[in-house]
Homo-oligomer: A and B are copies of this chain.
Amino acid sequence: MLRLPAQLLLTLTLLAPQVQAARNVILIIGDGMDDVQITIARNYLVGAEGRLVMDELPVRSAAQVLTIDEDGQRVYVADSANTATSIATGVVTSRGRIASSAGVDAPLETILEQAEAAGLRTGLVTTSSVTDATPAAFAAHMSVRTCEDPETIHGVKRYGIVLPHCRQYTRASGGPGSISEQLAASSVEVILGGGSQHFDMPAEGDQRSVRELAEDRGFTVINTAAELEALPVDDNIRTLGLFSPSTMPVRLRGQGDRSAERPRPSWLNEVHPFLGSVRLPEPMSCEPEPDFSGMPGLADMTEAALRRLDNERGFFLMVESASIDKQAHRRKPCGSIGELQQLDEALTVALAFAEKSPDTLILVTADHGHAAQLVPEISLFAKYGAPVYSPGMLVRLRTDEGAIMGVNYATNSFPYEEHTGGQVPLLANQTGAGLVPTMVTQPQIYEIMRDFLFGQSN
């Protein structure tokens, strides 16, 4: 290889038509954070006329969520695995898949892997298990999202049902191992979130745990907010932060941990829907979730990750607020509100960073819509005298504006609500102006990030 003297290299660099500064991408994903979730959180946190930090972003777009089944046939409602795959790889796939293709089950290269290969630093920050679908789809490949560790890769049992295995991904089959093993073997500079249970078990065909495997690969494993705060800014330390066994506790919950409840019609109303009366759930406020105490916030984790990733060659960081979705599945609007607030705080941290490093593209988006609906506290039809109420489950939230906000969950009668299929918001900081059209498909989000990081400088 030709070696040039340092002086000449410097001269060549100075003569280059345009020196490209380090470019950074901070991708912030609110899991299930559709426009309704945003409105519910805004109403509760800052009032209907108030503004969240994300509301003030200067670039607004919307993303078409695309999903197929294993045969390539269109599906209209996504899950977090296939949507994270769309965003991470630019390829539409089927529900449950982690950066792998529908049908043929081939690995799909991710934006994070491309950034690593180009010498950029990379990071994953989430409030879920770091092995959960959204973070996993950026740094691992798997046919089924539940194959998170060396046990579940053989098929996980839930509610008495055995879910699919991913044995073709085991190392015994020549594969890369489970998701936690893939993350432990990855070159990602910083991985922060929950999910220690997936690292505390023996790795496949090994006496040592997956955590020890990660340490062998150069990861410093930490488990507390104090350790996170004390983390030295050292370019040689790679960090795996696991702050809870599974999903991290959320910030807010309903009073006394109440979820949505079923309206209780009187017996006369059971006889005929226009007769009798109904007892609606009592109004309530949100309260702090005790289990959250001592946890690092999403903003804390984002700040720590940015300290570690900031460098001359640029970085890619994915930050996810995961439990906007998980709490909506469980009909807990206070939980979703607190996690949306966490996302907004992480965005504040990202914006402060971009203030100093203007070549930082910040994107804020959701992966799919969710069940929660913002319904009238007093029905449009209350004046007709008949009791009018949700056939699903309802929360009546007292807000600081002195009003009551109705939140309805009624996509099914299972213990977990469904995702929904509407287009989702996509927002960007000023760096995204001209790069983000007013409507994109989710795979185009990948293209925008790729072109920004690796394309021509503008």
Is A276's beta carbon under 8 Å from chain B? Answer: no
Residue of B nearest to A57 (CB): B438
The listed residue (B34, B374, B418) touching A380 by CB distance below 8 A is B418
Contact B411 A373 (CB under 8 A): yes
- Give a binary string over A41-65; 1 marks a CB under 8 Å from any B CB, 0 the rest: 0110001110100011111111011
A356 at the interface (CB under 8 A from B): no
The answer for the CA separation of A79 and B405 in the assembled complex, in Å, is: 15
Q: How many copies does the complex hold?
A: 2
Q: Does the CB pair B412–A391 fall under 8 Å? A: yes
Judge whether B414 and A388 touch: CB under 8 Å.
yes
User: Given the known A-B contacts A43-B76, A374-B422, A427-B438, are A369 and B411 also in contact in the complex, defined by CB atoms under 8 Å?
Assistant: no
Tell me if A379 counts as interface (CB < 8 A to partner B): yes
Q: Whole-angstrom distance from the CB of A272 to the nearest CB of chain B?
A: 11
**Mask of A364-395 contacts with B, CB within 8 angstroms, 1/0:** 00000101011111111101111011111000
A391 touches B408 (CB 8 A): no
A340 at the interface (CB under 8 A from B): no
Q: Are A420 and B375 in contact (CB under 8 A)?
A: yes
A413 within 8 A of B: yes
| Complex CA distance for A406 and B39, rounded to whole angstroms | 24
Partner of A388, one of B51, B158, B406, B412: B412
Cβ of A35 within 8 Å of any chain B Cβ, yes or no, is yes
How many angstroms between the C-alpha atoms of A386 and B23 in the bound complex? 49
Taken residue by residue from 416 to 445, chain A's Cβ proximity to chain B (1 for < 8 Å, 0 otherwise) reads as 101111110101000000000011010000
Whether the Cβ atoms of A76 and B48 lie closer than 8 Å is yes
Q: Is A348 among interface residues, defined by CB-CB distance under 8 A?
A: no
- Given A75-B377, A412-B390, is A422 in contact with B36 using a C-beta cutoff of 8 Å? yes
A77, B406: Cβ atoms closer than 8 Å:
yes
**Which residue of A56, A374, A386 has the most chain B CB atoms within 10 A of its CB atom?**
A374
Collect the chain B residues with CB atoms within 8 Å of residue A390's CB: 410-412
Indicate with 1 or 0, residue by residue over A322-335, a CB within 8 angstroms of chain B CB atoms.
Answer: 00000000000000
Given A48-B74, A410-B410, does the pair A418, B60 have CB atoms closer than 8 Å? no
Question: For A381, what are the chain B residues with a Cβ–Cβ distance below 8 Å?
Answer: 412, 414, 416, 418
B-chain residues with CB within 8 Å of residue A49 when the two chains form the complex: 64, 66, 441
* Selected A-B contacts with CB under 8 Å, 5 pairs: A47-B74, A59-B438, A374-B422, A376-B419, A390-B410
Other A-B pairs beyond A77-B377, A373-B411, 10, CB < 8 Å: A48-B64, A74-B399, A161-B384, A273-B413, A374-B421, A381-B418, A388-B418, A390-B412, A405-B421, A408-B411
